[in-house]
Amino acid sequence: MVGDLGTVHAPRSLWKDIHPEPPGPGQKPGTATVVPGLPEVPDLSMRSVNALRVVRADITAATAADDGTGRLVDPRAVQRLALCTQAVDGGPDCPVRPPVLSDVTGNGRDELITALDIDGRVSELRVYTVQDDGKIARILSRRGVLEGVEVAADHLAVREPTSNPNKTSVSDYVWDPDAGIMNLSELTLDECPGTRAGSAPCPATSTG
């Protein structure tokens, strides 16, 4: 005998009459953002580029365009960058992560992957490329809790904690040649590395 499966209810839409405003000019997806104030790269190679200088120029421009709203960049980003010295690596207190060079666009040239750590938890992930005209452009901007970042030849996977201590969110970004940016191609949930072995779950998700 089949048990009572209960009553099936249709989904109920909440706040049907409330819709978000369209994105502003600086928030529209689908296009790369040329970083202003940087010289063109004649050899089209990120290996000859000062990564910290790129991040500084990008964060400064994004902060000016953001006007303090926090939509384009964390309002604390410029203050955090002030901890960096004029040394190539920014010095021991610089919150910009060591740059990683990897070809994620498939054009045979390395892109620059780095992140600015804001408060020990939240980070601003950035990926830059050198366009054919020599200009440096940001092709991915992502603010989040970077539990893990994995790079392969054709994609970038970003792992972030969830409210479930046994699950981690995985956002997979793939180069979109038509749009000229890294686009989100897949969003999945995965078990935390220690879950299967019965060890410690994902790091705590509390922000307090």
Per-residue model confidence (pLDDT) at position 199: 44
Alpha-carbon distance of 55 to 128, in angstroms, equals: 9
Tokens of 24: 């502003």
Residue with tokens 């706040």: 15
User: What SS3 state is found at 48?
Assistant: helix
Give me the sign of the Cα torsion angle 130, 111, 156, 51. negative
Per-residue model confidence (pLDDT) at position 205: 44
Per-residue model confidence (pLDDT) at position 168: 92
Helices (runs of H) and strands (runs of E) counted in the chain: 2, 9
Per-residue model confidence (pLDDT) at position 41: 96
Alpha-carbon distance of 135 to 11, in angstroms, equals: 48
Residue ranges in the chain modelled with pLDDT below 50:
195, 197-201, 205-208
Per-residue model confidence (pLDDT) at position 9: 78
Per-residue model confidence (pLDDT) at position 198: 47
Contact 160, 145 (CB under 8 A): yes
